[in-house]
Amino acid sequence: MVKRMIVKIDENKCTGCGKCVAPCAEGAIKIINGKAKVVSEELCDGMGFCLGICPEGAISVEERYTVEFNREKAEAQPRKKDISIHCFTCGAGEDTSYLLPLRHNMQSLWVCTHCLPKLIHG
């Protein structure tokens, strides 16, 4: 056991929408009985990429004792493609563009790196 950062999901806030599942590149999150769960703590690197994606604010990152992150196992997880992930401005998907999570007007959106500068600079 090591003390490190790891994702925590608040079941009371989670609606089970599943938006956090595909963006977790390590495959650490699954929907079980209608709630998101970190199914294997050794697959969660605690980077918290999923935080901004959750529309309910159900995900946080905490520091606590858990198993060490297993990079080889995480990298061996099957990659999940989610067609709902696309740039909200131009519609580009993850096959062709780099996409970043974005919060705007209480919504969790994705934006591509081509459209992001226009949002920043107007």
Residues in contact with Zn ion by CB under 5 A are: 87, 89-90, 92, 112, 115
Q: Is 32 left (phi over 0), alpha (psi -120 to 50) or beta?
A: beta
Residue 89 and residue 65 in contact, taking contact as beta carbons nearer than 8 Å: no
Q: Which residues contact 91 (CB under 8 A, 6 or more apart)?
A: none
Q: Which is nearer to ligand SF4, 58 or 92 (CB)?
A: 58
Q: Which is nearer to ligand SF4, 32 or 90 (CB)?
A: 32
* Radius of gyration from C-alpha coordinates of the chain: 15
Q: Is 17 in the site for ligand SF4 (CB under 6 A)?
A: yes
Q: Which is nearer to ligand SF4, 28 or 58 (CB)?
A: 58
Q: Give me 18's structure tokens.
A: 């599943």
Touching ligand SF4, residues 60-119 (CB under 6 A): none
Instruction: Give the binding site for ligand SF4 (CB under 6 A).
Output: 9, 14-20, 36, 53-54, 56, 58-59
